[in-house]
Structure 1
Amino acid sequence: MADDKPGQSSELTRRVLSAAVLIPAVLLLLWLGGWPFLALLALAAVILVREWAGLTGSGDDMVLIAGLCAAGIGGLAVLGAFGGLAGLFTLSALAFLAAAIQAARAKPLLPVLAAYGYLLLPLLALGWLRAAPDYGLLLVLWLVLAVWATDTGAYAAGRGIGGPKLAPRFSPNKTWAGLLGGMAGASLVGLGMGAYLGQGHLPLMLLSAALAAIAQAGDITESALKRRAGVKDSGTLIPGHGGLLDRVDGLIFACAALALLAFLFQLQGMPVSRTILWP
């Protein structure tokens, strides 16, 4: 047991140092918004698609990698210039062009189409939410902080309390205590955002807890993918954390859910971010 402590301490140090570098950079680009934030999402698209190719065993297929990276960058770029629907159209057209090339070469289509829905659409949705008038920054900041608090609360409760496993078949380390701890952590972010806005706290706390549960589902989904691929991490990009997908697996699920909710509000003629943050 004593022999493990130096390794555990070194791993924790790497995790803390990586977070200390990455979190301020991400928050800065989020605050700037516009093209700087879209550039971050485009870079994330490239990295995530490469990691996806590795997880699905198609890492040697450059058509998959190049096509979906082009789809991600093209869709996000058009989003910045013309808005969400134009970005969605461009992203869809480029992704399905990559799928058509795959089909012509008798290559599997499923990895292309799955990556489109699993990775690129949530990134596009995140850019769309950030571009929301008036409160786009606060909306995405609340989302990101809620997911981070989910991860922290789940880790602390899972390690400190333990207990029954949440999804032992896919993620042996996840516990029900961790899920509740993550939901509690996210609820505190909702409480803080409600206090900052001077509005009712309970709706944002409940919505934050719901997003935490969705984020945990994203975490379990990626664990199942890694288990199927026989790997511990999706990549080695971030010291102490693994790949980028290991860090945003919950965020992409939560972002997709929040964007869908915002889109439904918009269909009713209600402002996206103001409706959610000011219930």
Structure 2
Amino acid sequence: MLRTRILSALVLAPLALAAIWFGSPWFTLLAALAGAIMGWEWARIVTDRFGKAGFALSVLAAAAAVLAQIEPAFAFLVLALAVAGGYSLGREQRDWLGLGAFYIILPVIALVWLRNLEGGLETVLWLMLLVWATDTGAYFAGRTIGGPRLAPRISPKKTWAGLIGGMLSAALVGAAVAAFWNLSVIVLVAVSALLAVVAQLGDLGESGVKRHFGVKDSSAIIPGHGGVLDRVDGIMPVAVVVAVVVLVMGGGVLQWH
């Protein structure tokens, strides 16, 4: 399984990095594709099938990514429409579609918006690298050290050692980014470590949803990793938090001196 995970990462990571590097339209198209697949996966999890509601969620998620490139205000209108449409269906499982619309579309908008900012390339690269480092550090620290479980009722394999390993790995990414771009090491290390916690909470949140519906993986589209939701569950909340921080700070990571 580890070998399969590594091989999949070696294929997908360069594609993601290339899309981030070249920006529009490639990154927008990647976000739209990911949003559409996540809509499909979410519908399969909460309704056990992909019907009209799931198709609508996929289309709206992809549309929000494209509109975030053109005019973010329109993308938020799509988000509101998707959330309202999901909750209007009225059945318990279908109500989860409204939550799914918010959970999927808001991070998609945040990522496209961040990449389009001045300094967006550096900000999104840092964001992705710290989440990937968190996942890697948590995985190996958890397997190597073990110890007390972090949230056994939600995700039995996650440990406190894994969380700390993920935070340390993200902090190292923050230090490297700060050194490379001559930024404040203290700020980047602290923010990166805190965002590692956010990433782990995102992972636990998705695990909780899957456990609630008795699903092991969101899909099997990525060998060794499961589905797109399984792969980006940490990126999604981090993207939203970083977007809020950027709004407050008035600029991307290059402005954080």
Q: Do both proteins adopt the same fold according to a TM-score greater than 0.5, normalized to the shorter chain?
A: yes
Q: Is the 8 A contact 2:84 2:98 kept in 1?
A: no
d(CA) in 1 for partners of 2:92, 2:146? 44
Match of 1:176 in 2: 160
Query: Aligned partners of 1:70 and 1:38: how far apart in 2?
Result: 14
Report the CA distance shift for 1:233/1:96 in structure 2 as closer, same or farther (over 3 A): closer
Q: TM-score, normalised by structure 1?
A: 0.86
* Contact map agreement 1:233 1:246 (CA 8 A) in 2: yes
Give the corresponding residue for 1:37. 27
Q: 1:208, 1:161 → 2: CA distance? A: 22
Q: Is the CA contact (8 Å cut-off) linking 1:152 and 1:182 kept in structure 2?
A: yes
Is residue 78 of structure 2 the alignment partner of residue 102 of structure 1?
Answer: no
The ranges of structure 1 where at least 4 consecutive aligned residues each deviate by more than 4 angstroms after the TM superposition are 106-109
Give the 3-state SS of the residue equivalent to 1:87 in structure 2. helix
Alignment of 1:180-219 (within 5 A): 180-219=164-203
- CA distance in structure 1 between the partners assigned to 2:14 and 2:160 by the alignment: 31
Contact 1:122/1:252 (8 A) holds in 2: yes
Structure 1 match to 2:79: 91
Map of 2:43 onto structure 1: 53
Corresponding residue for 2:69?
80
Larger radius of gyration: 1
Residue 36 of structure 2 aligns to a residue in which SS? Answer: helix
Seen in structure 2, the aligned counterparts of structure 1 residues 264 and 58 have a Cα distance that, compared at 3 Å, is farther
- In structure 2, the CA distance between the partners of 1:193 and 1:60, relative to structure 1 (3 Å rule), is closer
Aligned letter for 2:51?
A: D
CA–CA distance in structure 1, aligned partners of residues 251 and 2 of structure 2 = 42
> Which letter maps to 1:53?
A
Percentage of pairs with the same residue: 41
How big is the shift at 1:160? 1.0
- Report if the CA contact (8 A) 2:83-2:99 is conserved: no
Structure-1 residue corresponding to 2:142? 158
Counterpart of 1:25 in structure 2 is: 15
TM-score of the pair, normalised by structure 2: 0.93
Contact 1:102 1:108 in 2 (8 A): no
1:129 alignment partner, SS class: helix
Deviation, 1:109, is 5.0
Partner of 1:114: 99
CA contact (8 A) 1:67 1:98 kept: no
Give the whole-Å Cα distance in 1 for the aligned partners of 2:87 and 2:209.
25
CA distance in 1, matches of 2:213, 2:74: 35
State the match for 1:271 in structure 2: 251
Partner residue, 1:251: 235
Corresponding residue SS for 1:34: coil
Q: Over residues 201-221 of structure 1, what are the superposed CA-to-partner deviations in whole Å (9 max), with x where a residue is unaligned?
A: 110000000000000001111
Instruction: Find the residue that maps to 1:173 and give its secondary structure.
Output: strand
How far did 1:51 drift?
Answer: 0.8
Contact 1:147 1:212 in 2 (8 A): yes
Q: Deviations over 1:1-35 (max 9, x none)?
A: xxxxxxxxxx2222121111111111101111111
Q: Using the TM superposition, give the Cα deviation of residue 60 of structure 1 relative to its aligned residue in structure 2, in angstroms.
A: 4.1
2:47 aligned counterpart, secondary structure: coil
Cα distance in 2 for residues equivalent to 1:23 and 1:127: 18
Partner residue, 1:3: none
Match of 1:236 among 210, 215, 220: 220
Distance verdict in 2 for CA 1:208–1:76, change over 3 Å: same
Tell me which of 130, 140, 144 is aligned to 2:128: 144
Kept in 1, the 8 Å contact 2:64–2:108? The answer is: no
Does the CA contact (< 8 Å) of 2:127 and 2:239 recur in 1? yes
